[in-house]
Amino acid sequence: MSMKSLLWKAMFVAALGLAGFLLYRIFHQYSANQILESFARIPAYNLLLAALAAAGSYLCLTGFDFLAIRSIGKKIAYRRIALASFVSLSLGHNIGFAGLSSGAFRYRFYSRWGLSTEDVAKIILFCGVTVGMGLVGLGGMALIVNPADAAALLGLSEASARVAGLGLLLVLMAYVVVAALVRARLHLWRWSLQLPSPGIAILQVAVGTLNFAFVSACLHALLAAFGNVAFLQSVTAFVLANSAVLATHVPGGLGVLETTVQHVVPDAASIGALIAFRAIYFVLPLILGTGLLFICEFIPGRSRPGKEPQAGKPAQASSA
């Protein structure tokens, strides 16, 4: 076994240990009875809706990687992209600093399939931009349609909140316009970048926004089991909470998510809803992703998937 392989397996064991620690951090403040009672109070219909919404979000996240790989002119089968994306992000969401932590796992997969370090860096950058575009898109719509909750939390007037929302949507329009007009290659040190095509830029905005809409729907399905809360309130709560999580890089948004949601929808933000949200959106994918990573690394015949025949070929154009 090579030194590189040993280092990677050591990293996997460390990630597994960190995953276990995070599970402890998430649930140690609640007793087993509290957790069981919380789930027992949520109708099966709400749990099913939340699970479907979470699945929709992770499906959108695979679209981030798919668009990124297309944007740099490479071709990898979607099933492999979905595997790399799900494993990387199910762990990255919980570890914190998702761009870097998920990037390490992405590199492990994509380098096996013929992509270079530069290619993977561009994929990570593209996905990071898509996250930003999605948060800006959904946040802009929430500020325009439901300014009251955001204004109360941010200390703004409702008119100012609407203006801020309009400004966010203009940012999205500007991004697409710049992608259409600026087709020259950009150089950063020894790397060269090119903005995505206008079509891919539009898909970035759409898929990014849809992803956060699904996460908000997951949260809403659970909050609705404990109180009368409008979907747009759930959207506002999640967008503001996720913005704070991205700014602080707290693993899994521990504490930040709960505080923001309880401020926006205090009547519905029960312990039960928040425990269930963490379990469905963070913990279950973490367990599945860790299991898939274990299979890929340690099960004979699965540890070294074959290269895609076209992944390593030079691309006609490369973009971030």
Please give the helix or strand (H or E) that residue 187 lies within, else none.
Answer: strand 186-188
Residue 114: which domain range? 38-298
Q: Is residue 318 situated within a structural domain?
A: no
| C-alpha span between 132 and 182 (Å, rounded) | 20
The answer to the question of residue 6 being in a domain is no
265: left (phi over 0), alpha (psi -120 to 50) or beta: beta
Q: Report if residue 63 sits inside a domain.
A: yes
Q: What is the pLDDT along the chain (320 residues), one digit of tens a residue?
A: 566 667 766 766 776 676 667 666 666 666 777 777 777 888 999 999 999 999 999 999 999 999 999 999 999 999 999 999 999 998 887 776 565 678 888 988 999 899 998 899 999 999 999 999 999 999 999 899 988 888 877 778 899 999 999 999 999 999 999 999 987 777 766 767 788 999 999 999 999 999 999 999 999 999 888 888 888 888 888 888 877 766 655 555 566 677 777 776 766 657 778 888 888 998 899 889 988 988 887 775 554 545 554 444 443 333 33
User: How many angstroms separate the CA atoms of 238 and 135, rounded?
Assistant: 10
- Whether 179 is in a domain gets the answer yes
Please give the model's pTM, rounded to 2 decimal places. 0.84
151 located within any domain = yes
Asked if residues 135 and 212 have their Cβ atoms less than 8 Å apart, the reply is yes
Total domains, the chain:
1
- Say if 281 falls within a structural domain: yes
CA distances for 163 relative to 157, 173, 208, 237, 246, angstroms: 10, 15, 22, 19, 23
